[in-house]
Structure 1
Amino acid sequence: MAEDYEPRLRAVWPHQNRIERRAYGLLVDAYVKARYSLEYSIDIEQLEWLSGRVKLLLDLVEQVSRERLATLETAA
């Protein structure tokens, strides 16, 4: 949903190939399945890839937030 407001966020979760779509699917599944199902699993390579994407997301959200705050400060 946030991608509608900030298009730069689309680059965080690429869906260009099956591996990227699968990795993102594992993240989505982890939200529920990792807590309630013993069948959820993720290998170290997938976890490392997702960790890198989450770090990218954090950095980008911080940048976008700072830019937005700066525009609000100058408007006030």
Structure 2
Amino acid sequence: MAMPAQAADITGLMPGPDDMELSADHRYLWVTFRFSRHVGIIDLTTHKLIDTIAVGRSPHGLYFANRAPVYAPNPD
């Protein structure tokens, strides 16, 4: 199976990026940084980390009730 093309590089992230959630408007990617004890917000128009929130030990999982739709990958 061929690997998908890379869309962009996002540099300067904290250690341990793990779980992600996409905002409903597709503009922001929220990411848990498990080893850094933070959640980060990435602006997908600039590909930059724009904010971090200290959340305590080993954050794992994000869920937005109003989020971007999830589509199953095409099996072909």
TM normalised by structure 1 equals: 0.23
Q: Which has the higher helix share?
A: 1
Structure with max Cα Rg = 1
TM normalised by structure 2 equals: 0.23
Q: Which has the higher strand share?
A: 2
